[in-house]
Amino acid sequence: MKYYKVSPTIADDIKQASFWAILGSLVVVFLYILFRFKRWQFSLGAVAAVFHDVLIVLGIFSLTYKFMPFSMEIDQAFIAAILTVIGYSLNDTVVVFDRIREFFNEHASWDFNRVINVSLSSTLSRTLNTSLTTLVVLLAIFIFGGDSIRGFMFALIIGIVVGTYSSLFIATPIMYDSVKKLEDKKQQ
């Protein structure tokens, strides 16, 4: 195993570049969702969900790295896992938001609460089936795969569970609450 010493100056440069990369990616995600759905509330919900997913995966890695029986280093494989989780969660969020937009356009007479409820109900089985199928594969690779990829698989497993949860219970409620607050201000 090779070890490299990184000087404090280089470490500070890496931290600063990572911060700007994360901030830039969140801005790009915000703009993409804004362009696609034409409402900033959807963007806010999607960015909050992605931020939540990354924060939870990093938090669980930070809490469990001392007692896990496999490598929990933050390396290139971990970065790849984080990027995969972001993509997975964002895709899941876009699917839910697409259904909300679809029902909103088809049923203009419906109350916004009903649109959200029916949309979530109609995407729930698809979301859970996709996530469970993905988790079965990830668990098989985690159990039967080599030691070198266990940390990567562990991050993906956490990310898929958290990403599925956040698409339904973080992104959508934040979008809903921000739309409702805006409507309430307009009515006053």
Distance CA 34, CA 97 (A): 12
Would you tell me how many other CB atoms lie within 10 Å of the CB of residue 51? Answer: 16
pLDDT, averaged across the chain:
86
Q: What are the angstrom distances between the C-alpha of 19 and each of 14, 27, 45?
A: 9, 12, 21
Distance CA 9, CA 121 (A): 51
Cβ(119)–Cβ(99) below 8 Å: yes
Q: Where are the domains of the chain?
A: 8-187
Average pLDDT of span 24-48: 90
Count CA atoms closer than 13 A to 127's CA, side-chain side: 27
Q: How confident is the model at residue 21 (pLDDT cuts 50, 70, 90)?
A: confident
Distance CA 41, CA 20 (A): 23
Would you tell me how many other CB atoms lie within 10 Å of the CB of residue 108? Answer: 8
Long-range contacts of the stretch 35-39 (C-beta < 8 A, 24+): 36/94, 37/97, 37/101, 39/179
Q: Which of 42-51, 59-68, 82-91 has the lowest mean pLDDT?
A: 59-68
What's the distance, CA 89 to chain centroid?
Answer: 4
Identify the pLDDT of residue 5. 57
With tokens 């899941």, the residue in question is 92
With tokens 């409620």, the residue in question is 173
Query: Under CATH, domain 8-187 is a member of which superfamily?
Result: Multidrug efflux transporter AcrB transmembrane domain (1.20.1640.10)
With tokens 């984080």, the residue in question is 82
Cβ neighbourhood burial of 74 (10 Å; 0-12, 13-18, 19+): middle
Average pLDDT of span 87-96: 91
Give residue 94's identity as a one-letter amino acid code: V
Encode pLDDT of 56-75 as tens digits. Answer: 998 998 888 888 777 777 77
pTM assigned to the model: 0.84
With tokens 């919900």, the residue in question is 45
Average pLDDT of span 158-180: 93
Average pLDDT of span 82-107: 91
Res 44 pLDDT > 70: yes
Cβ(180)–Cβ(112) below 8 Å: yes
Q: Which of 30-44, 56-70, 121-135 has the lowest mean pLDDT?
A: 56-70
